[in-house]
Amino acid sequence: MRSAVLIGSLLFAFTFCGLGERIRSLSGGSSNSTNTPANGPSKTGGTTDSGEVEKAKLTSEQQAIADGAAETNWNDQGITWRLPSGWKKTDMKKESALFSSSDGAFLIPTISVMPDDFPSDVSLKATYDSALQQLKNGKYETARYLEIDGIKGVEFLETMPEDKSGPRRHQWIAFRNYLGQNQQLNIMLSTKGSNFDKHRTDFPAIMYSMKIAK
C-alpha cells in the first residue's frame, strides 16, 4: 500500500513539474543569462550576453534558512541539500529523486548519463543561448551562468504561468564527471504559480546549499 502511495505521489509531482518535458529537451532545454546579483534571482533583471559565471551566494535570510534546515543525502549520486522543516524525502532512485514540502512544493533532481564523447560544454552553451531568447520572449524572469559548489551550470527562473495553478520552476542544469560517467544534472524546484512567492527565499536556500560530489 505504501509503495502505491509513493508511486502515485511521484507521478503527480513529475507531471505537475513538467519533468518529462525537461528530460526530453535535455541539452536543448531552457536557460538564460541576466546580470542579477550573485545571491539569487531577483524579481526583475536585465539581460546580458557577456556569459560571465557567477558563484552562488546565500543572502543572510537564505543562510538562516539553510542553517536551520536538515541535511538530506542522495547517496547514490553523492549530492546533499539542506531542506527546511516540513520537507520530506518522498522517493529515491538511482537517477531521480523526489522531495516535497507540506504545501505542494517539490525538489526533483535527475541525472542523465550521456555518452563519454558527448560535448557537454557545447551543450551547456547552447542551453544558455537558447534561454537568452526565451528571456527576451518573456518566458523567464531571470537566468544566468551560475557555479554551485565548483560546478558551472545554467540557472533560470520561470515567469508566472498564465494559469496560476500551473507549475512555476527554479532550475539549474549542469554537467559533471562522476563514477566514470558523463552526467547531466537537472535540479528543479517547483510549485504552482500562486504558491511560488512563498518559496522565493527557500528555493535558492535549498539550491545554493547543495553539495555535489565530483
Residue 106: which of 90, 124, 119 has the closest Cα?
90
Predicted local confidence at residue 40, as pLDDT = 53
Using DSSP, state whether 48 is helix, strand or coil.
Answer: coil
Tens of pLDDT, residue by residue, the chain (214 residues): 444 434 444 444 444 444 444 434 433 333 333 333 345 553 333 344 568 999 999 999 999 999 999 999 999 999 999 999 999 999 999 999 999 999 999 999 999 999 999 999 999 999 999 988 899 999 999 999 999 999 999 999 999 999 999 999 999 999 999 999 999 999 999 999 999 999 999 999 999 999 999 9
Task: Please state, in angstroms and as integers, the Cα–Cα distance from residue 206 to each residue in 62, 73, 123, following that order.
Answer: 9, 13, 25
Predicted local confidence at residue 51, as pLDDT = 86
Predicted local confidence at residue 159, as pLDDT = 97
Domains with residue ranges and CATH for the chain: 2-212 (3.40.1000.10)
Angle CA 187–188–191, to nearest 5:
160
Q: Distance between CA atoms of 145 and 48, rounded to whole angstroms?
A: 11
Please say whether the beta carbons of 72 and 82 come within 8 A. Answer: yes
Predicted local confidence at residue 49, as pLDDT = 52
Q: Distance between CA atoms of 194 and 135, rounded to whole angstroms?
A: 21
Predicted local confidence at residue 21, as pLDDT = 44
Predicted local confidence at residue 41, as pLDDT = 52
Predicted local confidence at residue 44, as pLDDT = 33
Predicted local confidence at residue 48, as pLDDT = 46
Strand ranges inside the chain, DSSP E:
53-55, 70-74, 79-83, 88-92, 97-100, 106-114, 140-148, 151-158, 167-178, 181-192, 211-212
